[in-house]
Amino acid sequence: MSRRAEPAALEGEILQQRFAVLQVYSRHGDWVRCRVFDMQAMAQHEAVVQLTEGAIEVELIPADESASQAASQHAPAPPPEPSAASPPEAGASSRAAGRSSRKPGRLEAAWFAAGANAEAVSEEDRPVEDGDIVIAPSKIERAATDITTGTYMRYALDDPSVHPQPSPDPPPAPLSSGLRRLLWPAALVAGLGLLIAIVCVFLWGCDEVPARPDVPRPRGDGPAPRDSAEAGTPREAGEAGTPREAGGGKEGSAPTYSCKSPHPAWLLCEDFEGMSAGFATWLQSSVWTENIGGADAGRMTSSTEAHGGSYSLYMPAAASAGYRGADLIWRACSGANKPGCTPLKGYPRLYFRTYLRLAPDHKKVHHFLSIDGGPLDDYWAPYGNAGCRPNGKSAMGTTVDFKNLSHETFFYTYFPAMKCDPGSTCSNYADPAQICADCAAKGMPCSSGLECCWGNVLTPSPPVALPLDKWVCFEMMMQPNDVGQSNGEMAYWIDGKLGHQVKNMKWRDVSTLQLNMVRLQHYLETEDAAGHSNRIWFDDVVVSTAPVGCM
């Protein structure tokens, strides 16, 4: 939804051999709004960094101005990041990096920036807490704890190739005598069952012991969280099992599906095999409603490096195209599939599955895959709303993006209770009066004073990164809230494993705002790319009202 340039990849950098960039908020032109740690004064500050050719200037924002913004997105003490099980509260930071109530770990003696203060501590003085910024002799590190085991992890912010390394897990606690008395009868029954199975195989020649038929599950590299109550994915009573795709299964298994034989819940299926007639011919008759960059082979073309079949979609971000990315947009048109179609269809929940492959030298993206929605009678409502606080009536959506270099994934979303930059902060890099005037013209006035609203970032903990140079099964889901309730959900899976889930979202205030848009995008502008071709391939895309799963 946003077409605004993102901040430069400054987090973890040391500026002027003094200021460590702890958190980047936003960017306008050459100006970057961020939080820095002054390693001379041993204190944190709000700052504006000017990036000019051959020079970097750091301007600290006075403490009194920062204090006046304590209730804003950039308050001195950063709030904790929402986890997959805890939704963002109204006023949650868009780039939270603070402490949480998770079990603390410990670290050898080092410097810590704790909130707005700094202190030298040792392992004996106090434990390291999740979210502490560690100023070590040669690099910046962030403390983190594994929420499932409580074990301590840390990673260097200035080296994206370093991933969290958990400390050794503690040995399992011995079972109590009471628990052993409860478990031994079950163990005896299991042992007898195994003995009967062995006798069956070796004496009577049984092929296999009959088993209870399972609900169809996706064939990924791991468990299928969509069919697990633990995953928390919303599922209505009586809903059909996860569709299985062509590419596996044996006689007697659940039916398989493909673009030639789609599941009834599939709204779009694109395997790009139509590119055998040429890319231009395929694009003209494709199932996609709109495209950005389709006329430039340096931005979007066909490829024989396919996941399934013979063809895939290739976005080369070539130098000849200014290193720009591209975008395919699907809209749920009731009639002819063309831009501006009305009325639109609307759905209470959408799943969006694609296989993707990032080039081995891939570095960054501006915006990635998204599910969006708007009124059924207004095709253009979801477009061009960056900077505005949503009104709960005209547009909603969520995007899965990833961090530069590390490719660690996160949700980037707009919602009425989102945290925005107040006018006093926004004026450091933009014109809040003009932004509010533009938003008011779209029916989204700045009712609480001047402000600039950019998508709030919700990250999983621990981080979940996309791998390079391999085909990955990626699926995301969005389910809007019921009107008057905060029960919306969004989640994504990587190779069949739940990567991140956020509940209790509130995107809409009217039932006429529904899901009807998907973007298969790898959006980059020339100024984002810094002279590098960030290449990507897509294949086997499905949009569905039910979970899709992996092939």
Mean pLDDT in residue range 150-157: 34
pLDDT score, position 99: 30
Look at 20-24, 160-164, 342-346, 470-474 and tell me which has the smallest mean pLDDT. Answer: 160-164
DSSP 8-state class, residue 408 = B
d(CA 513, CA 488): 13
pTM of the model: 0.59
- Parallel, antiparallel, or unpaired for β 140-145 and 133-135? antiparallel
CA 356/CA 470 separation, integer angstroms: 8
pLDDT of amino acid 129: 52
At residue 366 the predicted structure's pLDDT band, cuts being 50, 70 and 90, is very high
Q: What's the pLDDT score for residue 139? A: 39
Residues in the chain: 551
Do residues 302 and 314 touch, judged by C-beta distance below 8 A? Answer: yes
The CATH class of the 255-418+453-544 domain is: mainly beta
> Which of 14-18, 98-102, 150-154, 179-183 has the weakest average pLDDT?
98-102
Mean pLDDT is highest, among 70-79, 196-205, 330-339, for 330-339
- The pLDDT assigned to 339 comes to 95
| Mean pLDDT, range 71-87, rounded to an integer | 36
Summarised one tens digit per residue, pLDDT across range 211-226 is 322 222 232 333 233 3
pLDDT score of 14 more than 90: no
For residue 3, the model assigns a pLDDT of 36
- For 521: left if phi > 0, alpha if psi spans -120 to 50, otherwise beta; the answer is beta
Give 417-474 as a 3 state SS string: CCCCEEHHHHCCCCCHHHHHHHHHHCCCCCCCCCEEECCEEECCCCCCECCCCCCEEE
Under the banding of pLDDT at 50, 70 and 90, the label for residue 31 is confident
* Domain boundaries defined on the chain: 14-68, 110-156, 255-418+453-544
More confident residue, 447 or 230: 447
Q: In whole angstroms, give the CA distance from residue 550 to residue 262.
A: 14
Confidence of residue 123 (pLDDT cuts 50, 70, 90): very low
Classify 321 as helix, strand or coil.
helix
Do residues 227 and 215 lie in contact, with contact meaning Cβ atoms separated by under 8 Å?
Answer: yes
Sign of CA dihedral 74, 462, 136, 101: positive
Chain mean pLDDT for the chain: 73
Per-residue pLDDT at 47: 86
**Rounded mean pLDDT, 485-510:** 98
Q: For 512-540, what is the mean pLDDT? A: 97
Q: What is the pLDDT of residues 161-214, one digit of tens each?
A: 333 333 333 344 444 444 444 444 444 545 555 544 433 333 333 333 223 222
Where does the pLDDT of residue 60 fall: very low under 50, low under 70, confident under 90, or very high at 90 and above?
Answer: confident
- Determine the pLDDT at residue 27: 74
pLDDT at 333: 97
DSSP letter at 361?
A: T
Read off the pLDDT band of 476 (50, 70, 90): very high
> pLDDT-based confidence at 258, cuts 50/70/90?
very high
* Predicted local confidence at residue 248, as pLDDT: 34
Q: What percentage of the chain exceeds 70 in pLDDT?
A: 62
In terms of pLDDT, which residue wins out, 412 or 146?
412
Would you put residue 434 in left (φ > 0), alpha (ψ -120 to 50) or beta? alpha
Calculate what percentage of the chain has a pLDDT beyond 90: 53
524-528: list long-range contacts, CB under 8 Å, 24+ apart: 524/317, 524/323, 524/324, 524/325, 524/364, 524/365, 524/366, 525/5, 525/322, 525/324, 525/366, 526/322, 526/323, 526/324, 527/5, 528/5, 528/6, 528/364, 528/366
Strands (E), 122-232: 133-135, 140-145, 152-156
Closest CA to 483 of 508, 460, 464, 465: 508
Q: How confident is the model at residue 279 (pLDDT cuts 50, 70, 90)?
A: very high
- Tally of CA atoms within 13 A in the half-sphere of 16 that contains its CB: 15
Output 440 or 10, whichever has higher pLDDT: 440
Element (H, E) at 401: strand 396-402
